[in-house]
Structure 1
Amino acid sequence: MTITYSCVANGRAVLAELALTGGSYQEAVATVLKLVLLRAEPKTIMQMGSFVYHTLFIDGITYLCATDNALDTITPSAFLKNVSETFLRNPLMSQEHFSPSNAVAADFQQVLGKYMMKYNKNQDDTPISTLRSQVTDVKNIMSQNIDEILESENRLSIFTDRTDDLQTTAKESPKTRKALRRMWRKHFRKVIIITVAILLSIIIILLSTNVIPA
């Protein structure tokens, strides 16, 4: 995930902004700021075009950033929290005449850039990256287990073929039938356990990234 754009706005007036990639954000940002003011919710997440817009609304000031990934909501939230704290610590930010042409606004663009570079650089250390790594490990283990099951089933198939050959000369014994049933039940349980584990892993990552509301 990459934070590609960020801004600070008073109402619908953008005070300071910075885009790390080309493209026009102005139209989408204007729409998002309008919706934020109408809803007056502390936090919002909106998808517009190919970007996801995250906002933090505090005392009429909107802190906004755009990302290229809808799954990670933890990193944008931490970014906006840092930006808001820095903004509110500066006494000049409360001046009535603060505007985009103000020198303080121009300086704050550097603050946005610093935090954007920080959070984009540290993606490997985020909880979502750790979670993805864990899920990848689980998937690898699942793949190994499936390979073992397939190999076992292949051996079982060979054994079954041999048993069928024996049936042409001798009637299958009750012990053989019981052994086959036990083997099939064992492999069936393995398949069920692996399927449930994969489903649980998917649910966990969706809950952790807020794709499914907790």
Structure 2
Amino acid sequence: MAILYAVVARGTVVLAEFSAVTGNTGAVARRILEKLPQEADSRLCLSQDRYIFHILRSDGLTFLCMANDTFGRRVPFSYLEDIHMRFMKNYGRVARYAPAYAMNDEFSRVLHQQMEFFSSSPSADTLNRVRGE
């Protein structure tokens, strides 16, 4: 699997997360969340060893995933856009006040399912799909 970890957070409060790997990925992600500027919507990437943390900030929330550094940037950001849309559709404004891990039981399954899809399905890469048509 190319996308290995994902988290949805409000500031440093983790609302949902899923990891396909063991280790300190969650701790590294939380350190990244602590250091992120609390500015308006943005996208950025941070490199850590042989992984890249892709970050999408939107609607006061942070959507972060970790992928292999050989996986590129387009598909991980497509994954984050998809997760953002699904999360806002399901929870919307509730996320602004929810306690830590409030959405984890339900949404960690969505993180996992979409992680598998975006990591393995050629149709997840919209640009390559359009080029092939």
Question: Higher helix fraction: Structure 1 or Structure 2?
Answer: 1
1:120 CA displacement? 1.2
Q: Where does structure 2 lack aligned partners over 5 or more consecutive residues?
A: none
Listed as ranges, the matches of 1:128-143 within 5 Å are: none
Question: Which residue in 1 is equivalent to 2:50?
Answer: 50
Q: TM-score, normalised by structure 2?
A: 0.81
User: If you compute each CA radius of gyration, which structure gives the higher value, 1 or 2?
Assistant: 1
| Counterpart-to-counterpart distance in 2, 1:122 and 1:95 | 30
| Counterpart-to-counterpart distance in 1, 2:89 and 2:74 | 23
Listed as ranges, the matches of 1:1-214 within 5 Å are: 2-38=2-38, 40=40, 42-70=42-70, 72-91=72-91, 94=94, 96-102=96-102, 104-123=103-122, 126=125, 127=127
Identify which of structures 1 and 2 has the higher relative contact order when contacts are C-alpha pairs closer than 8 Å and 6+ apart.
2
Question: Which residue in 2 is equivalent to 1:140?
Answer: none
| Counterpart-to-counterpart distance in 2, 1:74 and 1:90 | 25
Match for 1:56: what amino acid? L
Report if aligned partners of 2:75, 2:124 keep a CA contact under 8 Å in 1: no
1:37 CA displacement? 2.7
Report if aligned partners of 1:36, 1:44 keep a CA contact under 8 Å in 2: no
SS at match of 1:37: coil
Match for 2:85: what amino acid? E
Question: Higher strand fraction: Structure 1 or Structure 2?
Answer: 2
Q: Where does structure 1 lack aligned partners over 5 or more consecutive residues?
A: 132-214
Which whole-Å deviations, capped at 9, do the CAs of 1:153-198 have from their partners, x for residues lacking one?
Answer: xxxxxxxxxxxxxxxxxxxxxxxxxxxxxxxxxxxxxxxxxxxxxx
Cα RMSD for the two superposed structures: 2.7
1:22 CA displacement? 1.6
Match for 2:94: what amino acid? S
| Counterpart-to-counterpart distance in 2, 1:98 and 1:2 | 30
Identity of matched residues, % = 22
| Counterpart-to-counterpart distance in 1, 2:31 and 2:59 | 19
SS at match of 2:66: strand
How many residue pairs get aligned? The number is 130
